[in-house]
Structure 1
Amino acid sequence: MDLKNMMARVIDELYSGLTGGDAEIPLPGNMVINFIQPGMVFHPSEFDFAVAGPFSGPSPLTLDFFRKLAETIQGDNPEIAREEVIKQAKAMYQGFLLGTWENWSRLVDFIPLVQPGPAQHSWRLDRDQGRQRHAQVVYGQEGRTLSQVYGDVLSLCEVADDELSPEKLALIQKMRALLQETVETTDFLTGEKRTVIQESRILKTYADYRTRYENAVIDYAGRLARSQSGSAADLIEWSRSGGIYRSRAQRARADWEAQGYKNDVERAQAVLDQILGTSMVQWVAKLRSDVDAIEDNVQGAFGYPFFPATVVPGSFARNDGWTTFKNLELHSSSQYTASSRGGAAHAGFPLGIVNFSGGGSAGQTETDLRFKSSTFGMEFEYTQVEIVRPWFNPGFFASRGWRLKTEFVDRYRTDRLSDGKAEQPAGALVGYPTKALFVRNLTFHSSDLAGYMHTKRDDIVAGGAVAIGPFVVGGGYHQSRVSRESAFDLTDTSITMRGLQLVAFMSALTPMGPDPSPNVKKWL
């Protein structure tokens, strides 16, 4: 029994989860998948900042978490006044939301490598930065942050300065108002008023309905793939209910168009791209001011700015509706397709090797686990989320009314953001992560693997972790202000890992650029 073949089958399923397609169908040339190893464990509460915003009070989904904070503060001491308990709970809750928001924002502020090696798929937590320490995650990325390069592009570029008519200027303002808004919020803890730039309600609704549609397509495609290569039960299920899942995907598309502003948003984006192709002075000034506003107003736990990112749907971690993978007969799969691990979707790590990382400063050991039993199965739930950055507008890259200054070229030693190649693109900003893939409630059914885990149990309780492909068993949650160990159950024949795991990113590749129009007469 070959662990490599079995894990490859599961990777193919996750590939379908991110692409809505089949492992036999290669990714589009403008996309890339980066799996990480080992998976990064999260508690559902770590995405509460995305439910109602990082400065808000508890929502119905998070009220129980807030109540538990208050109960912890109260403890067995009835002398603490309820008003003081609530005040302290507010401070803890607000600090928790801001800390997890910062951690997620820094985590997704990276530029992907298209074909990273095994070492570049792993991640680590740097703790040598003193007061400024934060999670420094390394997984198939360039050595620069997305925010850094994007900010330098806006600051160190020239733009077309052709005049626009008053009618076109008014249309630009109208389209921008449809996509972005400036709102005043009240800090839950201090009551302070603050102004923040964010994607408009219409654009958030658009992204939410698009994600619902994509998840419905993923569910349909995954069930179709299992009916063709899975068990007899999968085939029977498909024959009886395949039409239902297809109809769900079609309804989700219709809902996106009718209620998710699909046509309005895409028309606005197209209008902006068309008008601003030759006159971009106002556009780039607005983009620069958005970045400056972030640096001036968004501060992290240690007083240093970060560039915020959130997820859509915001409540994904606490919601049902995840897609289920369950195959208790993976051992019967002796062949697998390599499409999802070749080219732009290269997995980049040994699927058949079990990695163990000890707690603290312990190193990593690899084990080529030999199976004596003839059975192996897995089950888990998975879903994808959209990564949203209100300060980032990649549409700027595709326009033809800008070019890089020599200062940018000297700093980055390239005159390109990207050369546009699909296999090995080169440039200062070849891509950016757009989606994240999570799994939860992961269970391995294998007596051999369970036996190996029993030998590592004490180390895992102490903070160690076992990585099998992009999955992890053990380890701890890593977040601002709160540290608690993840939970797992171990029997003689199975291992169950509760909680969420981040296992992969999908990234969009930047088109060739800059590609300035030869018709531009004046540059500023």
Structure 2
Amino acid sequence: MTAEQMNALVQGIYDRIFDSATKAEPGGKPLANTAKTMLTLMKPGMAINPNDYRNPWTPGNTSGSQDAAVNTARLVDVIPNANSLYEDSGKTVTQVYGDILNSVSIPVQKKDAALDAQIDAAWNYLFRIVNQTDPDTGAVTPKTIESAVYRDYLDNQSAYQNARLAYVGAYLAAQETPQGKNTWPLVAPTMQIPVKQAWDKWRANFADKVEQNLAILATSSQNSLQKAFNKAKEIFEGYGVTLDDSGGGLSPKIERVSLIPSNWYSSSDTTGWTTVKVSAGNSIANASSDYKSFGASAGFSLGIWSVGAKAGGSWSSQHFSSETNNLSIEFSFKFVGIRRPWMSFHLLDTKTWNLGNFSPKKGGISNGTKTQQKTMWPLMPTGFVVVKGVKIKATWAKSDWDKMQSALSAGGQVGIGPFSIGGSYSQSHSSETWKSAFANGEITVPGVQIIGWMNAVVPYCAPEDMP
């Protein structure tokens, strides 16, 4: 089996996941815009220890795990480079977004009392201020949080989007075989039930009124930028909590996030998964795929087998022996949505403001396209791809089969394509390791892991140079 065939197999995985978000069944509407969405595929995936994320602390769940809340916030805070192969840029969403709010410079605009009142009314419908008491000092601090109706709207919207993604994934899977195409009309009505239920629940809970107020904020912000940015800063600061306290009084605040579905780390969950099977030599490569255009193909062409030292060490890529043949991979995947209630993302798409010395040149935060190299915030992670039930099968060369097991036995980390097959948990405080089962030419991977991130291209900003 050639390196080109193996690379095409990984591209088949990439395209299938990306298409689930950016394509639709006949008559349907894609949930994401191809030109403004990028999938960044990991090499290899990130195995998840459920204990690191289960039952996170929230103001309404003060008995929850503070570690889980911190782990969740940090998991989704990384800004990736604009590359279809996942790369950590070294910057974080909260860092750059906070710096933008602190640095923004806006030309003086004429006061409009009626417009300000309209913005205040919309803001008060979507958010509320609550007093939060520090359990150690007793100090009371006002915090801005979502209103119950807005929080329910976002939860129900995410549930609907996940149901739609699962439906589109099932539709695309059915189109891959003649039998699947023929039977799809029979199974589609049943598959549509959870989509319709999620839609009805979303729209029935004041969705129109929420969207009316969101539209007021979005359309009025340009005419009252200073007020809009001040409100955004108020919301951002209102969500910061100190959960990772070192005891020195200088610990940074954590901006809480929530993930939909909340039990995303569970391998026993049966809702919303799409099963995919790809085989080397049978994958049809899309020449216009982001996989080829934005770096993933080059990264995986170095070898789809990844071997690393113990946690924190470097990785090396290797090719399988030419004697390894008939490689096939089966897995189930679904999307996990990221909610950042403290972010006013729409403000990045407004005009006439600049960022002073923080980013003197316009377009320094993002140029608004997928082709970016030196910008601060090219992509905004909006969700990630989790997989379970991974089975990797081949007619293995003995040298490959033995080397993989040897590396795992030595405590190393091993991956095949975007899948990890053993090692340690990257975010865990525990030193626990894990590995897959090897039997009869098949590698069975336990648990859940993240293999990729769905990202929105950040709008062109700042819109103006520093004067």
Q: Does 2:145 match 1:198? A: yes
Q: Distance in 2 between matches of 1:37 and 1:187?
A: 42
**Identity, % of aligned pairs?**
21
**Which structure 1 segments of 5+ residues have no match?**
59-93, 122-138, 517-524
Aligned position for 1:435:
383
Q: Distance in 2 between matches of 1:42 and 1:315?
A: 12
SS at match of 1:379: strand
SS at match of 1:403: coil
Q: Does 2:356 match 1:406? A: yes
SS at match of 2:34: coil
Q: Does 2:334 match 1:383? A: yes
Q: Distance in 1 between matches of 2:291 and 2:232?
A: 37
Aligned position for 2:231:
286
Of 291, 303, 306, which residue of structure 1 is paired with 2:254? Answer: 306
For the 8 Å contact 2:382–2:455, the answer to whether it is kept is yes
TM-score (norm 1): 0.74
Q: Distance in 1 between matches of 2:358 and 2:280?
A: 53
Aligned position for 1:32:
38
SS at match of 2:434: coil
Cα 1:18/1:455, change in 2 over 3 Å: same
Q: Does 2:390 match 1:446? A: no
Aligned position for 1:53:
58
SS at match of 1:316: coil
Q: Distance in 1 between matches of 2:313 and 2:378?
A: 34
TM-score (norm 2): 0.82
Aligned position for 1:176:
123
SS at match of 2:270: coil
For the 8 Å contact 2:7–2:297, the answer to whether it is kept is no
SS at match of 1:169: helix
Aligned position for 1:245:
191
For the 8 Å contact 2:321–2:397, the answer to whether it is kept is no
Q: Does 2:301 match 1:355? A: no
Query: What one-letter code is carried by the residue in structure 1 that aligns with 2:184?
Result: W
Count residues in correspondence: 447
Cα 1:262/1:354, change in 2 over 3 Å: same
Aligned position for 2:155:
208
Query: What one-letter code is carried by the residue in structure 2 that aligns with 1:42?
Result: I
Query: What one-letter code is carried by the residue in structure 2 that aligns with 1:151?
Result: G
Cα 1:33/1:424, change in 2 over 3 Å: same
Q: Does 2:80 match 1:112? A: yes
For the 8 Å contact 1:18–1:218, the answer to whether it is kept is yes
For the 8 Å contact 1:56–1:188, the answer to whether it is kept is no
Cα 1:364/1:168, change in 2 over 3 Å: closer
Q: Distance in 2 between matches of 1:493 and 1:309?
A: 41
How far the C-alpha of 1:278 sits from its partner, in A, is 1.5
Cα 1:281/1:316, change in 2 over 3 Å: same
Aligned position for 1:85:
none
Aligned position for 2:318:
367
How far the C-alpha of 1:21 sits from its partner, in A, is 4.6
Cα 1:290/1:299, change in 2 over 3 Å: farther
Of 407, 411, 423, which residue of structure 2 is paired with 1:475? Answer: 423
How far the C-alpha of 1:324 sits from its partner, in A, is 3.0
Query: What one-letter code is carried by the residue in structure 1 that aligns with 2:252?
Result: Y
Aligned position for 1:396:
347
Q: Does 2:362 match 1:417? A: no
Cα 1:207/1:288, change in 2 over 3 Å: closer
Q: Report 1:263-282 matches (<5 A).
A: 263-282=208-227
Q: Report 1:83-98 matches (<5 A).
A: 97-98=65-66
Q: Report 1:220-231 matches (<5 A).
A: 220-230=167-177
Cα 1:196/1:5, change in 2 over 3 Å: same
For the 8 Å contact 2:389–2:445, the answer to whether it is kept is yes
Query: What one-letter code is carried by the residue in structure 2 that aligns with 1:101?
Result: A
How far the C-alpha of 1:450 sits from its partner, in A, is 8.8
Of 104, 108, 111, which residue of structure 2 is paired with 1:157? Answer: 104
How far the C-alpha of 1:271 sits from its partner, in A, is 0.5
Q: Does 2:284 match 1:335? A: yes
How far the C-alpha of 1:249 sits from its partner, in A, is 3.4
For the 8 Å contact 1:6–1:331, the answer to whether it is kept is yes
What's the C-alpha RMSD, in Å, of the aligned pairs?
Answer: 3.5
**Which structure 2 segments of 5+ residues have no match?**
none
Q: Does 2:217 match 1:217? A: no
Cα 1:513/1:340, change in 2 over 3 Å: closer
How far the C-alpha of 1:408 sits from its partner, in A, is 2.5
Query: What one-letter code is carried by the residue in structure 2 that aligns with 1:56?
Result: N
Q: Distance in 1 between matches of 2:98 and 2:79?
A: 14
For the 8 Å contact 1:490–1:496, the answer to whether it is kept is yes
Between structures 1 and 2, the one with greater strand share = 2
For the 8 Å contact 2:362–2:462, the answer to whether it is kept is no
Q: Distance in 1 between matches of 2:23 and 2:125?
A: 29
CA deviation vs aligned residue, 1:280-334 (integer Å, no higher than 9, x gap): 3333223223444556x4342433333332312223333430313142x724615
Aligned position for 1:87:
none
Cα 1:216/1:360, change in 2 over 3 Å: closer
How far the C-alpha of 1:272 sits from its partner, in A, is 0.9
How far the C-alpha of 1:193 sits from its partner, in A, is 7.6
Aligned position for 1:255:
201
Q: Does 2:8 match 1:5? A: yes
